[in-house]
Chain A
């Protein structure tokens, strides 16, 4: 079956612009996660959605970052007034449920802020 998909694969933007990143989880996966990976670094958790529960936003680095998910489908991560330090690969993952199940990653969106 289809894996997690993300779009765009690459995004170059100017400092101060807003960007929107999209994630399509694996069909039937109720949990969805966003992570960020800066060059040469490990993955940083950003936000987690589980069904209709309130999302865990504890990893969002500032109020410029927000994310939405409608039901158990597509999620969008929005970064407002982008800064150069936002440059990273943004990875989305999904799983069947949150507590025990394995997370599968999409190909990522490489964001470059000039």
Chain B
């Protein structure tokens, strides 16, 4: 089992729709969760972080965390063609006192005009 799993996609949604991106993780002691957006040929850009169970909203983005189910998701409301990118889920574990992030393989999102 991979430590962080994402559906590779592509996930295709029409412009204006809600895009829902999902991620599961295996390490129960994981404490910090991040979503990065990566455009083709570019480096990852941090868009959301979440540390507590529940929802966290920032503009059109909402991150949802359920530690009991070891599940984190990202909702993008009113999707725009400029949201088309690969979305990376990343998890930081407290075990070993290390700061490293474990990344999923990413989900490719296509927003069609």
Chain A residues in the interface with B (C-beta under 8 A)? 31, 33, 35, 41-45, 48, 50, 56, 58-59, 89, 91, 95, 97-100, 102-108
10 contacts between A and B (CB under 8 A): A31-B99, A33-B101, A43-B101, A45-B100, A48-B99, A56-B98, A56-B100, A99-B32, A103-B99, A105-B45
- From A41, A95, A104, A106, contact of B99 by CB (8 A): A95
Q: How far is the CB of A71 from chain B (nearest CB, A)?
A: 17
Chain A residues within 8 Å of B90, by CB: 43
Judge whether B46 and A104 touch: CB under 8 Å: yes
Q: How far is the CB of A95 from chain B (nearest CB, A)?
A: 7
Known: A56-B98, A99-B94, A100-B51. A43 touches B46 (CB 8 A): no
Residue of B nearest to A110 (CB): B41
Give the residues from 13 to 39 in chain B that come closer than 8 angstroms, CB to CB, to chain A: 31-32, 34, 36
- Give the docked Cα–Cα distance between A60 and B70 (Å): 28
